[in-house]
A and B are shown apart, each in its own frame.
Chain A
Amino acid sequence: MASPNVRRHGNLIMVNGTKMSSLCHRICYRWSSLRITGLVFSSKQETKVLPKASYSLRSWSGFNTHPCLLTQKLWRLENPNLNSSAADSPPSKEDGTARFTESSILLNTNQNLGKTEPSRLAIDVQPVALDDAPHPSLFEEISEEEALRIEASPPLPPTSFTLRDYVDQSETLTKLVLLGMDLSKLKMRPNVANMLLRLDFDRDIKGRLLFLKDVGVDDQLLGAFLTRNPFILTEDIENLQMRIQYLQSKKFSKEAISRMVSRAPYLLNFSVERLDNRLGFYQKELGLNVQKTRDLVTRLPRLLTGSLEPVKENLKVCRIELGFRENEIQHMVTNVPKLLLASKKKVTRLFDYLHNTMGIPHHLITKFPQVFNGKFLRIKDRHLFLEHLGRAQYDPTQPNYISLDKLVATPDDVFCVEIAKGTLLDFEAFQKTL
């Protein structure tokens, strides 16, 4: 490392030419200060933390400290305000720490902090020829500028269970939290945290967020979106645009697309063929026309992101076990798409109770498919209460008819007073006799 730096300094000196002696002095100790950082780190082998001014010889995935340090130095040299008088020099102890973290400031200003976070377990620290370097004294003076930039924070732990340890120092994570992303939920998924720390806000995340905004995802929902699907931050923007274009070619309106993307965050991670397959499947299986398929998928975009096996099972159950006809199934599914994704057992149990115990025929259930949204115990309690009061009348032709949607959807007190003509206390007392 000695030679490239010296060479570099040599070039700079040649470039500028004015105030050479002071420049020399500054440059020399700048170079030596970098040395000190290196030395400090090499003596503390156990920390395993990568020095923030990473050695310029290190080859890292795309990141090169060379230009950063270089530009930094150029700026410093041009700034005529550099002042390194002995009177202003901070006390020696601070110097030591200053040196330690000084190089971090270099990168701070370049906003590359997120990238330099320790993200590798095994640190392959290049065996730099540090022993050759002279040990500069800690009493070296530094300019006031540099003193002001010192931000002495405790070193980051190399491994951690949560992102709490890194969130204050990392700009990426800070901005994500302020956007509304929930990092506590993400710690349960181990790959996500590592991936997030490797990202850089300006380069990776900003572009994709703007893209999502263009698609129409609401700002408030952005946080929830990212919490559900953080992997969108590593998807190729061209691919994302291609998929949006595909959806537009299928004549989904802009609001529809934005709705679908907001409600099914994984949608844009799917390739075009997969989306095509799924749309084709729903059109074929349910026998719906194009517009109705579009509406169905817009209402429940999870149909496109989930597996198709449970949907096939549910359709089979509806046809064979429950005995619904095709047009009945079509009607129910267009009104309550959740039927396709509901649990097979629960649907069967509910239908069994409705049809066999309550005696409701198929055509009435088809007319009110929202009963499948209701909870089984609730419907059971209410039916038994009505039966106890003698008001369990579900046949529309008879007087005092109670429609199924009112049975299921009204809250308890409304149900008790208006439909059952009783009180809430009666209902609770009755529930305790079941």
Chain B
Amino acid sequence: MVVCLQADKMVRLKWPLFQTLRGVFAVYKPPGIHWKRLRDTVETKLLKELNSLEQRVPRQQIRFLPSFTEGENGVETSLTVAQLPVLADHPRVKGPKFVGLKVGAGHRLDLRSSGVLVLGVGNGNQQLVHLHDRHLTKEYNIQGSFGTATEDFSDTGRLIERTTYDHITLERLERIIAVIQGIHQRALLTYSGIDLKSQEAYELASRGLLRPMHKSPPIITAIRCVHFSPPNFTLAIQCLHETQQYLRKVIHEIGLELKSSAVCTHVRRTRDGIFTVEDALVRTRWDLHSIQAAIQDSRSKVNATLGATVTSQGKTCPLGSKARRGGAGVQDPHQWGRMHTVHGF
């Protein structure tokens, strides 16, 4: 006979555990770890805990076993009833009950960056898709340093040139930043795809709800300097549809604009849509209990954003593509005040 390889099918979780393990939650990705490895680690830890909680009761079977008793005329056979567990259900024969769990990752972070990474479990993966369609902004804290230029715009790349940076002042930096913001604001107006001369556009822009609802190049909606001590400086950037390498390139270009050069030392995401650093779980807290609690906490926020009630099956009915002007009244709680005209979601 041939015994082949076959992975066990994914088993449906029991109802109470299933209900709490559906949704989205945020983890804090440390630098130097690939996001896929992080997702795999979370899945493995959850599976291990679920399997340890699972108690399997084997089926019982009734067997009539022959027994030999001493009788008058010699050895007699008779049958005794015995209730034995079916060994095919024994965990050492069947294996662990849970073999796979659907854990999906939201907007990715590359190897060197760190920060908030949103994961979804079970039904939450669908919510992740809807959250992505909402095109919410993300916030980054980017640390840079003047004086060097490298090949891949980061401090670990191959060095291309060294420059002086004594002439750089905070005022000059802020001027450059404002120029960048202006450029991106014009891009925002273009890509949001509405007629600029209409009343609708004016209202949205004034309320700060203008966003491109479809694929677009990276757009920086807000940028400011939070720390400046040459050669090091830190910028806080609010952006859409970006990649971390693009942000490093922005730092490089800022250096060029200031007639010097700059490299990015660290990229850190502080907010991804509605999830902030406070909601994110640290590495030591990636266990079943904390994740369940995190999902519970984020449920109301997610429901409010997606603008629908969660049905009893856990399905969300979002407003869909009709809600092009997104947000449905959800304002950005992290507005930066009067510095910028376009802000938030």
Interface residues of chain A, those whose CB is within 8 Å of chain B, are 79-81, 118-121, 144-145, 148-149, 151, 158-165, 167-168, 173-174, 177, 180-185, 187-188, 190, 193-194, 197, 223, 377, 381, 412, 428, 431-434
Residues of A within 8 A of B94 (CB): 164, 184
Residues of B within 8 A of A121 (CB): 1-2
Interface residue B81 (Cβ < 8 Å from any Cβ of A): no
B77, A145: Cβ atoms closer than 8 Å: yes
Residues of B within 8 A of A432 (CB): 28, 277, 280, 282
A174, B77: Cβ atoms closer than 8 Å: no
A149 to B80 Cα, complex, angstroms: 11
Interface residue B311 (Cβ < 8 Å from any Cβ of A): no
Besides A164-B93, A187-B95, 11 other A-B contacts (C-beta < 8 A): A118-B1, A167-B87, A168-B88, A174-B87, A177-B92, A180-B92, A182-B92, A184-B95, A190-B4, A377-B33, A434-B114
Interface residues of chain B, those whose CB is within 8 Å of chain A, are 1-6, 28, 30-33, 61, 63-64, 66, 71, 73-79, 86-88, 90-96, 114, 268, 277, 280, 282-285
Quote the shortest CB–CB distance from A224 to chain B (angstroms).
Answer: 11
Quote the shortest CB–CB distance from A63 to chain B (angstroms).
Answer: 17
Quote the shortest CB–CB distance from A19 to chain B (angstroms).
Answer: 15
B3, A161: Cβ atoms closer than 8 Å: yes
A148, B78: Cβ atoms closer than 8 Å: yes
The 7 tightest CB contacts between A and B, nearest first, are: A184-B95, A193-B3, A164-B88, A159-B1, A161-B6, A182-B92, A183-B93
A197 to B76 Cα, complex, angstroms: 33
Residue pairs across A and B with Cβ atoms less than 8 A apart, 13 shown, are A80-B73, A81-B76, A167-B88, A167-B90, A167-B93, A168-B87, A174-B87, A187-B3, A187-B5, A187-B95, A190-B2, A432-B28, A434-B31
Name the residue on B nearest A143 (C-beta): B77
A194 to B1 Cα, complex, angstroms: 7
Residues of B within 8 A of A119 (CB): 1
Name the residue on B nearest A105 (C-beta): B66
Residues of B within 8 A of A118 (CB): 1
A183, B77: Cβ atoms closer than 8 Å: no
A79 to B68 Cα, complex, angstroms: 13
Quote the shortest CB–CB distance from B293 to chain A (angstroms).
Answer: 15
Residues of A within 8 A of B96 (CB): 184
A434, B30: Cβ atoms closer than 8 Å: yes
Residues of B within 8 A of A184 (CB): 91-96
A377, B282: Cβ atoms closer than 8 Å: no
Name the residue on A nearest B85 (C-beta): A168
Given the known A-B contacts A161-B6, A164-B94, A168-B86, are A79 and B282 also in contact in the complex, defined by CB atoms under 8 Å?
A: no
Quote the shortest CB–CB distance from B50 to chain A (angstroms).
Answer: 16
B28, A165: Cβ atoms closer than 8 Å: no
Residues of B within 8 A of A197 (CB): 1
Name the residue on B nearest A150 (C-beta): B64
Residues of A within 8 A of B32 (CB): 377
B78, A431: Cβ atoms closer than 8 Å: no
Residues of A within 8 A of B282 (CB): 428, 431-432
Across the interface, B28 reaches (CB within 8 A) one of A167, A377, A431, namely: A431
Name the residue on A nearest B4 (C-beta): A161
Quote the shortest CB–CB distance from B70 to chain A (angstroms).
Answer: 12
Quote the shortest CB–CB distance from B303 to chain A (angstroms).
Answer: 25
B66, A148: Cβ atoms closer than 8 Å: yes
Residues of B within 8 A of A193 (CB): 3
Residues of A within 8 A of B268 (CB): 433
A160, B3: Cβ atoms closer than 8 Å: yes
B31, A190: Cβ atoms closer than 8 Å: no
Given the known A-B contacts A164-B94, A194-B1, are A80 and B88 also in contact in the complex, defined by CB atoms under 8 Å?
A: no
A381 to B33 Cα, complex, angstroms: 14
Residues of A within 8 A of B86 (CB): 168
A188 to B3 Cα, complex, angstroms: 9
A180 to B93 Cα, complex, angstroms: 10
Given the known A-B contacts A164-B88, A177-B90, A184-B92, are A149 and B1 also in contact in the complex, defined by CB atoms under 8 Å?
A: no
A165 to B93 Cα, complex, angstroms: 10
Residues of A within 8 A of B283 (CB): 377, 431
Given the known A-B contacts A167-B87, A177-B93, A181-B92, are A160 and B1 also in contact in the complex, defined by CB atoms under 8 Å?
A: yes
A81 to B78 Cα, complex, angstroms: 13
A81, B73: Cβ atoms closer than 8 Å: yes
A148, B93: Cβ atoms closer than 8 Å: no
Residues of A within 8 A of B28 (CB): 431-432
B75, A79: Cβ atoms closer than 8 Å: yes
Most interface-central of A184, A193, A197 (chain B CB within 10 A): A184
Residues of A within 8 A of B88 (CB): 164-165, 167-168
Residues of A within 8 A of B77 (CB): 144-145, 148-149
Quote the shortest CB–CB distance from B261 to chain A (angstroms).
Answer: 25
Name the residue on A nearest B61 (C-beta): A168
Quote the shortest CB–CB distance from A342 to chain B (angstroms).
Answer: 19
A168 to B77 Cα, complex, angstroms: 23
A183, B2: Cβ atoms closer than 8 Å: no
Quote the shortest CB–CB distance from A111 to chain B (angstroms).
Answer: 13
B5, A190: Cβ atoms closer than 8 Å: yes
Quote the shortest CB–CB distance from B329 to chain A (angstroms).
Answer: 30
Given the known A-B contacts A149-B66, A159-B2, A167-B93, are A177 and B87 also in contact in the complex, defined by CB atoms under 8 Å?
A: yes
Most interface-central of A148, A190, A194, A432 (chain B CB within 10 A): A432
Quote the shortest CB–CB distance from B215 to chain A (angstroms).
Answer: 31
A194 to B90 Cα, complex, angstroms: 20
Name the residue on B nearest A227 (C-beta): B92
Quote the shortest CB–CB distance from B276 to chain A (angstroms).
Answer: 10
Residues of A within 8 A of B90 (CB): 167, 177
A148 to B283 Cα, complex, angstroms: 63
A377 to B33 Cα, complex, angstroms: 10
A149 to B78 Cα, complex, angstroms: 9
B92, A183: Cβ atoms closer than 8 Å: yes
A187 to B90 Cα, complex, angstroms: 14
A433 to B94 Cα, complex, angstroms: 44
A61 to B91 Cα, complex, angstroms: 33
B4, A80: Cβ atoms closer than 8 Å: no
Residues of B within 8 A of A81 (CB): 71, 73-76
Quote the shortest CB–CB distance from B98 to chain A (angstroms).
Answer: 13
A8 to B208 Cα, complex, angstroms: 101
Quote the shortest CB–CB distance from B16 to chain A (angstroms).
Answer: 26
A377, B93: Cβ atoms closer than 8 Å: no
Residues of B within 8 A of A174 (CB): 87
Name the residue on A nearest B96 (C-beta): A184
Residues of A within 8 A of B71 (CB): 81
Name the residue on A nearest B280 (C-beta): A432
Quote the shortest CB–CB distance from A132 to chain B (angstroms).
Answer: 32
Name the residue on B nearest A118 (C-beta): B1
Most interface-central of B6, B31, B92 (chain A CB within 10 A): B92
